[in-house]
Amino acid sequence: MKIILENLTKKFISRDHKNSVVIAVNDFNIEIPDGKLVGLLGPSGCGKSTTLNLICGLEEPTEGKIYFGDIDVTNLPPENRGVGMVFQNYALYPHLTVRQNIVFPLENLKGPDKMSKEAMEEKAMEVARLVQIETLMDRKPSEMSGGQQQRVAIARALVKTPGVLLLDEPLSNLDARLRLQTREQIRRIQKETGITTIFVTHDQEEAMSISDLIIVMKDGIIQQVGKPQEVYNAPVNLFVARFLGTPAINVFKGQIKDHKVYIGEDAIMDTKASDQEVYVGIRPEGFVPSEKGVFTCRFDRIETTGRDTSVVCHNENCISDEDIRAIVDDDLYTHKDKVIRFNLKVHKTYVFSMDEKVIDE
């Protein structure tokens, strides 16, 4: 099902500060296409979970509309929206078995939708097979691993075949190895069912790896929407550029003078923009060591972390971190000099104005 958010706004009265208004979600306008896996991404406290709660109906928006398909569901209570939701802590009923947990939503059905015991059982087994927990049906949640609990929670959310599936930080309670597995599971389940799925995460790698579409948020405002790689390659502002990618992007203070971009004394690239102070962001993979490189840094050391070899160096104009990290292709790369020079890949180097917006070439 297609989801449209129109001028969606949610304001809270803050409890800690004296009646100050917090805008958790600020004027959202977005159309989420049918059958996609969408990652809602942002640092903690940016309003992603509130957005999710608005979509499922647990909270009411201050302004704006929510459409599922062509239907305005803004004021509809959650149970009538046909959504399934998986909570961060899974919220499995501890006193019920897996089977009872999954059947629970079906037992709520009334009137013409009411199902027979056998039909419920069959439906429960069907989703259990989908998430591969059919052998665990008689266990209690406390007797299962985090990953298994997660899958039970997904099964319970799916059992009524919702039009929309919402996942709140689905992987945050799992350890690193399980996280990789589980995100592939989520991807697979979403593809098999074709249900429009929105998941919230603060982990950019998680969002980048499985989403069809990512929405980057900050302070209740949508920063950028697009396919993960597009957003990564063409961030619209400094926040998005810094938020996506590990190791993080290196940011420098720079100037534009006479259609050239300078970091310190080094003219690193040409530009059409007018003279101004700027920020320059260079992705770690955007550095190419070269004897005659345009960008000069003080060499510190070489770090090898299994897959990547990176040169760690310093430059006084760098404002993101003391260490600049440049990933080099050659894993046997060595360097002896005190100074190191790089050429820069143009599509990995971004120039931002002082108000942090990207300056288009």
Q: Minimum Å distance from CB 162 to another protein?
A: 9
Indicate the residue among 77 and 194 with the shorter CB distance to another protein: 77
> For residues 154 and 86, is the Cβ–Cβ distance under 8 A?
yes
- Tell me if 83 contacts another protein by CB under 8 A: yes
104 counts as binding another protein under rule CB under 8 A: yes
Applying CB under 8 A, which part among 43-51, 81-89, 130-138, 249-257 lies near another protein? 81-89
Residues 299, 311: Cα–Cα separation, whole Å: 8
Determine if 64 is a binding residue for another protein (CB under 8 A). Answer: no
Is 151 an interacting residue with respect to another protein (CB under 8 A)?
no
CA nearest 339: which of 303, 298, 292, 301?
A: 298
- Binding segment for another protein (CB under 8 A), chosen from 88-96, 182-190, 203-211, 259-267, is 88-96
Site for another protein in 174-203 (CB under 8 A): none
Going by the DSSP 8-state scheme, the letter that residue 13 receives in this structure is E
Number of residues that bind another protein (CB under 8 A): 31
Among residues 39, 42, 57, 289, the one that binds another protein under rule CB under 8 A = 57
Other Cβ atoms less than 10 A from the Cβ of 62: the count is 15
Residue with Cβ nearer another protein (30 or 96): 96
Residue that has been written with the tokens 């990564």 in this structure = 232
Task: Please identify which residue in the block is written with the tokens 């985090």.
Answer: 146
Cα–Cα distance, 333 to 302 (Å, whole number): 8
- Three-state SS across 275-338? CEEEEEEECHHHEEECCCCCEEEEEEEEEEECCEEEEEEECCCECCCCCEEEEECCCCCCCCCC
Q: Where does this chain touch another protein (CB under 8 A) — which range of 92-100, 310-318, 334-342, 350-358?
A: 92-100
Interaction between residue 58 and another protein (CB under 8 A): yes
Given candidates 39, 42, 61, 105, which one binds another protein under the rule CB under 8 A? 105
Label the pairing between strands 37-41 and 213-218.
parallel
Among 65, 139, 160, 253, contact with another protein (rule: CB under 8 A): 160
Assess 302 for contact with another protein (CB under 8 A): no
Nearest CA-CA partner of 311 in 293, 291, 297: 297
Looking at the Cβ atoms of 94 and 112, the one nearer to another protein is: 94
The correct pick among 21, 29, 69, 95 for binding another protein (CB under 8 A) is: 95
| 283/177 Cα distance (integer angstroms) | 26
Euclidean distance between CA atoms 97 and 104, whole angstroms: 10
Is residue 89 within the footprint of another protein (CB under 8 A)?
A: yes
- Binding test (CB under 8 A) with another protein, winner from 1, 22, 23, 76: 76
For residues 356 and 340, give the distance between their C-alpha atoms in angstroms, rounded to a whole number. Answer: 28
Min dist CB 66 to another protein, Å, is 12
Residue 97 one-letter amino acid: T
Rounded-to-integer distance, Cα 6 and Cα 12, Å = 19
Options 43-51, 71-79, 210-218, 310-318: segment touching another protein (CB under 8 A)? 71-79
Query: Which CB sits closer to another protein, 87 or 299?
Result: 87
| Binding segment (CB under 8 A) for another protein, from list 22-30, 33-41, 101-109, 247-255 | 101-109
Piece in contact with another protein (CB under 8 A), picked from 85-93, 191-199, 302-310, 337-345: 85-93
Residue 308: strand pairing partners: 305
Please tell me whether residue 84 binds another protein under the rule CB under 8 A: yes
Number of Cβ atoms within 10 Å of the Cβ of 338: 8
Q: Which is nearer to another protein, 73 or 328 (CB)?
A: 73
Using CA atoms of 148, 153, 157, 160 in order, give the dihedral in degrees to the nearest 10.
70
CA distance 161 to 139: 23
- Residues forming contacts to another protein in the complex (CB under 8 A) are 56-58, 71-73, 75-81, 83-85, 87-89, 91, 93-95, 104-105, 107-109, 142, 156, 160
